[in-house]
A and B are shown apart, each in its own frame.
Chain A
């Protein structure tokens, strides 16, 4: 039973560039959430995708966008990168639909460095 996987593991970009991060959810899960974790801080919620639509969004600018595919995998896109976007980006998967304890399982993250 595969867990949550993310790619790439590390990435270096320069200011103004665009980046795409990828996530495959845990087998059987249909919901993907993305978090940004700056050094020394707890993860901050970016958005969540369910049934290929953005279901909820945190306090992040429109430069952050996402997509969910029919196989439930997801992408996070960040445009016009800023130095402050340097962080660990975490993907978490869960089973949507509600009514049950919706434990989220996290992937190992993608470390993004913006120079």
Chain B
């Protein structure tokens, strides 16, 4: 599975839009990009997944440029409860590997 690089930490304020960028230069053709959110002492929670262009759900948007070597998770109007660690993963979900490779993630701190 491709390795990812993302900032260790980010700070924001309530009501702001937060963009977390992830680099995955060695992404393979069949790889998807998936983001997870994790609160302290809880399991990671699936946020969003995409392959190319833009994906949006009720929680976030995922922007993927044409070369797919990076992606950006966008959280609109964050609140204090969005304070968490965000993980970017890439892999082939159809390959039956089931092996998610997590990096250290980005710790997002939302301030009042």
A residues at B contact (CB < 8 Å)? 4, 31, 33, 35, 40-45, 48, 50, 55-56, 58, 88, 90-92, 94, 96-109, 111
Residues of A within 8 A of B32 (CB): 101
Query: With an 8 A cutoff between CB atoms, is B112 at the interface?
Result: no
- Select one of B45, B49, B95, B96 contacting A106, CB under 8 A: B45
User: Is A98 a contact of B46 with CB atoms below 8 Å?
Assistant: no
Residues of B within 8 A of A108 (CB): 41-43
**A-B residue pairs, 3 tightest by C-beta:** A106-B43, A42-B102, A98-B96
**Nearest CB of chain B from residue A109's CB, rounded to whole Å:** 5
Instruction: Give Cα A96 to B98, complex, Å.
Output: 9
Residues of B within 8 A of A97 (CB): 96
Please classify how large the interface on chain B is, using the bins under 10, 10 to 19, 20 to 34, 35 or more. 20 to 34
A-contact 0/1 string along B8-45, CB 8 Å cutoff: 00000000000000000000000010100000011111
Instruction: Give Cα A23 to B55, complex, Å.
Output: 32
**Nearest CB of chain A from residue B76's CB, rounded to whole Å:** 22
- A48-B99, A88-B41, A109-B41 known; A100 vs B94 contact (CB < 8 Å): yes
- Select one of A31, A40, A41, A107 contacting B98, CB under 8 A: A31
User: Is A103 a contact of B46 with CB atoms below 8 Å?
Assistant: yes
Residues of A within 8 A of B104 (CB): 40-42
Select from chain B the residue with minimum beta-carbon distance to A106. Answer: B43
User: Is A109 a contact of B42 with CB atoms below 8 Å?
Assistant: yes
User: Is A106 a contact of B93 with CB atoms below 8 Å?
Assistant: no
Instruction: Give Cα A99 to B45, complex, Å.
Output: 22
User: Is A107 a contact of B96 with CB atoms below 8 Å?
Assistant: no
Query: With an 8 A cutoff between CB atoms, is B87 at the interface?
Result: yes
Query: With an 8 A cutoff between CB atoms, is B101 at the interface?
Result: yes
A-contact 0/1 string along B61-104, CB 8 Å cutoff: 00000000000000000000000000100000111111111111
Residues of A within 8 A of B99 (CB): 33, 45, 48, 56, 58
A-B contacts besides A48-B99, A105-B46, 17 pairs, CB < 8 Å: A41-B104, A42-B87, A42-B103, A45-B100, A50-B98, A56-B99, A88-B41, A90-B44, A92-B43, A98-B94, A101-B94, A102-B93, A102-B96, A102-B98, A109-B41, A109-B43, A111-B41
